[in-house]
Structure 1
Amino acid sequence: MTILRILPFFLLSVNLAAQLPAKMVDYREARNGVTVLTAEIQVPEEDAGYTLLLPAEGLVRAVIVMFHSGRDTTHPGFEQRLYVDAVQREVATLYITTGNLFEFLFDEEKYRQLDDYLGKAIIENQLPADKMVFAGMSLAGTRAMKFGEWCMMGKSRYGIRPAGIAVCDAPLDFVRFWQELKRAMKLNHDPVSVSEAGWVSTVLERNLGGSPDDNPAAWLDYSPYSHQRLDGGHAALLKTVPVRAYTEPDVLWWMENRGKDYYAMNAIDAAALINTLRLLGNEKAELILTQNRGHHPDGTRHPHSWSIVDNAELVQWVLEICE
């Protein structure tokens, strides 16, 4: 990376640091281990816990719970910028993590861990438990959906249920997702896609008892949405919950840069989820399609990015569904 690319990151980080609200609560449980994805890939853990950013005046009208890994609020990532818009509207932002940067939520204990962090944040900071919207991008969006459904099953020790859920370009139907991972490996067209497909499919198969052919029930149960089930599987739990699915279906970009088509895009899950919820009678299920908004913080074009979300408009939606 050249100095010309580093400089914008540095300036943005300084700017964000200067905009920190009056109160930030940072609860950490030290983690020094590693997450083993494959025999060749191991990733250091981050500290578990949460970072809470509160409005300057102390009044909290709603809370956006971000399941995004990484809690450095001076980082130029678009997810970390959300609090800047949120606190201006008296909305708190809570970044929550198990410590695993690639948390798939395979185990009940991980749900309990997140539930306890959320409960701790609510109790110690007088947060409105009935005005919490879960959100996340990509795998963090998967976590937001899965944790929301877990709460809707009545499993939260604190009686938490999401007031709404917003996911950005997240994989939801993991049978569909696995099939496309395997296809990418067979095509062997793009190194980035092949590498990701290799470790992701390995992690999924290791934790779900083999492939979808080997253990179909486990894969259907794990998926926060299933196209094979007319009611969407676990997604039916959200038929009364306001849900937004953001996606930028730039199929030409995927074809030209990754050798992928619609079948391999998470947009297909987003559309299917919202369509299913609407068929179930959920009039507050919305599919948000964007054009030419997706890019990384350095300006590189990429439709798989939180940049497709209008943070200020999302905060407005949160207030509308919570009040």
Structure 2
Amino acid sequence: MKRLIPLLSLLILLAPSTVAQNSQKIVFDTKDATNYYLAIPPESPVIRGVLVLFCSFGPPESILPETRLPQVTCTNEILTIVASVKGALYLDTATTQRISSILQHVTNRFKVDTSKIAIGAYSYAGSTLLRYTELCYQHPEKFPVRPRAIFTVDGSLDLINMWQWCERQISKSYDPGMTGDARFISNALRQGIGDLKNNLSLYQALTPFNLADTAGNELYLRHTALRLYYDTDINWQLTEKRNSLYDTDIPDATELVNRLLLAGNDKVEFVAATRPGKRNDGRRTPTAMSIVDEPECIQWLKQQLEILDPRTWNPPYYLPTPPNWTSEVFALPPDFAPAISLKGVEHVRFAPGWGELGKADYWTYVYLWWVEGKTAPDAAALQKYLTAYYEGLIGRNIERRNIPKEKLTPVRVSLAPQPGAAGGTRYAGRIDMLDYMAQRPMTLHCVADIKYCAAAGRTAIFFQVSPQESGHPIWKEMQAIPQQFHCEKQP
């Protein structure tokens, strides 16, 4: 178990920071201004995922100086929400309603994809949010989201063990702070639930995990990605607090992970901290957000939320790369064109002379939009997407290339249906725009092929683009790329 945050430490935690200055304080209950959360938007205008980080026994601001998670998420197109469950030690009706109200308000205000939401829980909020997540999967019709992933940081897991920990600490009476916390928690549990002896069934219903019950509530997490972070420096516990391993949540955490592994959940992990827990004021304590390796944690979250990371992207399809051509991967919609309503991956093949003025293959490239679900955009829809795409692409280059206003020209896209390739639909036309590299008007000839990959549940939209007319030899090389494409990886 862990110490509650004392008032002095809380005042230190509230010191201003860059993230705090960039955060938005949003009241989700118009009847009570104290019911609010903090929103830290990503640097990109596109939100590809959401991390809702909950603390307890303190306001949302108390978390910001303790972790770099918001700084990392904002550079990874993830919206961070920081909220508090206040003094909740378990998931009662009021806390359930509070969490649901926050999540519902976030999804409505930011128009986020509810399948791309992860939850983080710090300290005593761990028990509360784990049980909430279980209920989201047990009764999905009653909750606004089903979290795709959840992690806890020194989280409490077993309410029954929490009661027994209080009894041990009070009896031991070694550390005044922990003894005081144990008395406070014991009284709160007694007032809210009752004593353990006479209310065991209620504790079993409220706890997310019960060591004595091998078929408990944790089985509702068997399809959810889960990480449990702990500072495992037991020598510090023994020396400083006279706590054995059984005075911590670590044994419960390892048992919970093992049960879920046995239930077939291969997305669950016990994470032993590689650095000691320290608060922002320098105090050594296992209950600290510092035990989380923030960049590594966010990479894990992106993987669980299926947010593209170009460095690790492993395409499930085969897309050839001609000799000397280069390749890049981006998320769809791109950050410079958030108005594009399609979601997925953009995979580009650049001709060798793409950026070299005077080359025959200047501005010549092929790009695949690997789109979630089945879609069949017509000419009007494709024109709308491409207009937004190239307006954004040019717009992001105006300042960095010092393009004067008098050189700017509007983007105009015109496409018409053409005889399609086998099993697909084809459109062809032109894109009139500003060549931001040469800073002069340019026409790109464009062919768009659409094919549905039923086994993958994805739509492949290919764009072949070049200033050269269709009879130029470069088109034969470009056309070979979509012709050799396969919806599945080739052996």
TM over 0.5: yes
Q: 1:257 to 1:122 in 2, by over 3 A?
A: same
Tell me the secondary structure at the aligned position of residue 55 of structure 2.
Answer: coil
> What amino acid maps onto 1:58 in structure 2?
P
Structure 1 residue 96 displacement after superposition:
2.5
**Per the alignment, do residues 174 and 157 of structure 1 end up closer, same or farther by CA in structure 2, a change over 3 Å counting?**
closer
Relative contact order, CA 8 A, sep 6+: which one is greater?
Answer: 1
Matches within 5 A, 1:94-113: 94-98=81-85, 101-113=86-98
Give matches, 1:139-154, under 5 Å: 139-154=124-139
State the AA in 1 paired with 2:278: H
**Are 1:316 and 2:303 an aligned pair?**
no
More strand by share: 2
Separation in 2, partners of 1:220, 1:74: 30
* C-alpha distance 149-74 of structure 1, shift in aligned 2 (>3 A): closer
Partner Cα separation in structure 2 for residue 11 and residue 214 of structure 1: 41
User: What is the DSSP-based 3-state SS (H/G/I as helix, E as strand, rest coil) of the residue aligned with 2:223?
Assistant: coil
2:261 matched residue in structure 1: 278
Asked if 2 retains the 8 angstrom alpha-carbon contact of 1:274 and 1:285, the reply is yes
CA contact (8 A) 2:117 2:149 kept: yes
Q: How far apart in 1 are the matches of 2:155 and 2:13?
A: 29
Once the two structures are TM-superposed, the CA of residue 72 in structure 1 deviates from its matched residue by 2.1
Distance 1:193 1:11 in 2: 23
Contact 2:150-2:227 within 8 A present in 1 as well: yes
SS of the residue aligned with 1:209?
A: coil
Q: Do structure 1's residue 183 and structure 2's residue 168 form an aligned pair?
A: yes
Counterparts of 2:93 and 2:285, CA distance in 1:
34
1:152, distance to aligned residue in structure 2 (A):
1.3
Partner amino acid, structure 2, of 1:260: N
| 1:66 alignment partner, one of 37, 53, 65 | 53
CA distance in 1, matches of 2:217, 2:63: 36
Supply the distance in 2 between the matched residues of 1:302 and 1:199 (Cα, whole angstroms).
Answer: 19
Q: 1:75 to 1:230 in 2, by over 3 A?
A: closer
1:135 pairs, out of 105, 116, 120, with 120
For residues 318 and 307 of structure 1, what CA distance do their matches in structure 2 show?
Answer: 17
Which has the greater radius of gyration?
Answer: 2
How many angstroms apart in 2 are the aligned matches of 1:86 and 1:76?
15
Are the structure 2 counterparts of residues 234 and 274 from structure 1 closer, same or farther at C-alpha, using a change threshold of 3 Å?
same
Paired with 1:103 and 1:162, the residues of 2 have a C-alpha distance of 20
Task: Pick closer, same or farther for the CA change 1:14–1:245 going to 2, 3 Å.
Answer: closer
In the alignment, the residues of structure 2 paired with residue 217 and residue 134 of structure 1 have an alpha-carbon distance, to the nearest angstrom, of 28
2:405 aligned partner: none
1:229 is aligned to 213
Pick closer, same or farther for the CA change 1:12–1:204 going to 2, 3 Å: closer
In structure 2, which of residues 188, 192, 207 is the aligned counterpart of residue 203 of structure 1? 188
For the 8 Å contact 1:242–1:284, the answer to whether it is kept is yes
User: What stretches of structure 2 of length at least 5 have no aligned partner?
Assistant: 1-7, 307-491
- In 2, the alpha carbon distance for the partners of 1:195 and 1:126 equals 44
Code of the residue aligned with 1:215 in structure 2: it is: N
SS of the equivalent of 1:72 reads helix
Which deviates more from structure 2 when the two are superposed, residues 149-158 or residues 161-170? 149-158
CA-to-aligned-CA distance 1:195-222 (integer Å, 9 cap, x gap): 00001011112211222x2211111111
Distance change in 2, residues 1:134/1:269 (3 Å): same
User: Which runs of structure 1 show a deviation greater than 6 angstroms over 4 or more consecutive aligned residues?
Assistant: 9-12
Shift of 1:30: 7.9
Asked if structure 1 preserves the Cα contact closer than 8 Å seen for 2:148 and 2:305, the reply is yes
Structure 1 residue identity aligned to 2:104: G
- Unpaired segments of 5 or more residues in structure 1? 33-45
Give matches, 1:20-35, under 5 Å: 20=22, 24=24, 26-27=26-27, 29=29
Distance change (3 Å), C-alpha of 1:73 and 1:277: same
2:44 corresponds to: 57
Q: 2:198 aligns with which of 214, 220, 223?
A: 214
Deviation of 1:109 after TM superposition, in Å, equals 3.3
Identity %: 23
Question: Do 2:28 and 2:102's aligned partners in 1 also have CA atoms closer than 8 Å?
Answer: no
Q: Is residue 66 of structure 2 the alignment partner of residue 77 of structure 1?
A: yes
1:305 aligns with 2:288: yes
Cα distance in 2 for residues equivalent to 1:262 and 1:215? 27
- Report the alpha carbon displacement of residue 164 of structure 1 after superposing the two structures with TM: 0.7
The 1:11/1:103 distance shift into structure 2, 3 A limit, reads: closer
Q: Give the 3 Å change call, closer, same or farther, for CA 296–180 of structure 1 in structure 2.
A: same
Give the Cα separation in 2 of the matches to 1:114 and 1:14.
Answer: 26
Please provide the CA RMSD for this pair: 2.5
Instruction: Give yes or no for contact 1:30–1:47 (8 Å, CA) kept in 2.
Output: no
TM-score, structure 1 normalization = 0.84
User: What is the Cα deviation at residue 15 of structure 1?
Assistant: 4.3
- Paired positions, count: 295
Distance in structure 2 (CA, Å) of the matches to 1:226 and 1:240: 19
2: CA distance, partners of 1:169 / 1:31: 33
Cα distance in 1 for residues equivalent to 2:305 and 2:179: 42
Q: Higher helix proportion, which one?
A: 1
Q: Shift of residue 155 of structure 1? A: 4.8
Q: CA deviation at 1:91?
A: 0.6
CA distance in structure 1 between the partners assigned to 2:111 and 2:62 by the alignment: 22
